[in-house]
Amino acid sequence: MITWLIPISVYGSIAKPIDPNNRPAGLNPEHTHRWSVYVRGVDGEDISYWLKKVQFKLHETYANSSRMIESPPFEVTESGWGEFEVQLKLYFVPESNEKAQTLWHALKLHPYDGDIEGQKERRDTIVAQNYEEIIFNEPVEPFYDILTSGLPPAARGAKGSKGSKQATIKQKGERTAEIPYAPSPENPYCQKREGEELDRLKQAMKTVEAMVKEERAKLKTKEQEMEELRKETTTAQG
C-alpha cells in the first residue's frame, strides 16, 4: 500500500497601491505599492506543525533579498514599484526527513482583467493566490503521525490542541499488487477494505473541495469589505 499525505496550503500575494496624497513618511519616493507575499493554511489554519520555515527570495533590488521566516505567519511585507517572481522555499519539520520544496509566485501589483481602469482609479487591492497541494509520498512514520494528528509530537495533548487539523490533509491509497478481495484472519489487506478506504477518501476530497469553495467566498467578502472601507475613507477625506 502506497500512502500519500497531501497537506493543503495557500500561497500568494496581496498588494495595495499607495495613495499619493497620503504617503507614509520615509517611504522610498519610487515605491508605488505596499504588498505582502505569504504561505498559510486554508481558513487561517496554523500549518507550523508540518511547515517549519519559509525562505522568500525577493528581487535583487531589495536589501537583504533573501528573507527567512521561521514562524507563522509565513509572510513578507514590503513596498516597491515593480512586479517580479518571488521564490518560496518551504522547509518542513525535521521529523519529516523531507527536502525543502521550492514554489514560485508572480507578485502581482496591477489589475489585468475586469474593469482595469476602474480598479486603478479606486486603487483596488490586488490578490493573486494559489492553492498548493504538497504531496508526501510514503512519509516516514513520525511525519505520518504529525500530519494525521495535526500536531508535532512535543505539542500533542498540550494546550490548544484541536485535533481537527487533518481536515486539510488529503490522503490517498493505492494497491501495489493484486490483493485478495475479502480479508482473512491472517491478512487484513484486501480490495474490500481498500474500496471502503477509497470511499472515505472520496468523501474527504469532497470536504476539501467544499472548504476551498468556502474560502473563495470568504475572500470575496473580504474584498467587498475592503471596498466598503475604501469608500468610507474616501468619503471621510473628501
* Residues forming the site for ligand SLL (CB under 6 A): 28, 30, 59, 61-62, 80-84
Cβ proximity to ligand SLL: between 40 and 108 the closer is 108
**Angle 214-103-119 (CA atoms, 0-180°, nearest 5)?**
55
To the nearest whole angstrom, how small is the minimum distance from the Cβ of residue 221 to ligand SLL? 30
To the nearest whole angstrom, how small is the minimum distance from the Cβ of residue 136 to ligand SLL? 34
Cβ proximity to ligand SLL: between 51 and 76 the closer is 76
Cβ proximity to ligand SLL: between 30 and 214 the closer is 30
Rounded Cα gap, residues 235 and 238, in angstroms: 5
**Number of C-beta neighbours around residue 22 at 10 A:** 8
To the nearest whole angstrom, how small is the minimum distance from the Cβ of residue 40 to ligand SLL? 23
In 3D space, the residue among 69, 65, 105 whose CA is nearest the CA of residue 88 turns out to be 105
Chain Cα centroid distance, residue 45: 9
Cβ proximity to ligand SLL: between 76 and 169 the closer is 76
User: Exposed/middle/buried for 58, CB within 10 Å: 0-12, 13-18, 19+?
Assistant: buried
Rounded Cα gap, residues 171 and 87, in angstroms: 27
To the nearest whole angstrom, how small is the minimum distance from the Cβ of residue 22 to ligand SLL? 20
To the nearest whole angstrom, how small is the minimum distance from the Cβ of residue 133 to ligand SLL? 29
Cβ proximity to ligand SLL: between 59 and 193 the closer is 59
Close Cβ partners of 147 (under 8 Å, ≥ 6 residues apart):
5, 7, 50, 136, 139, 166, 169
- Partners of 4 in the β-ladder: 137, 172
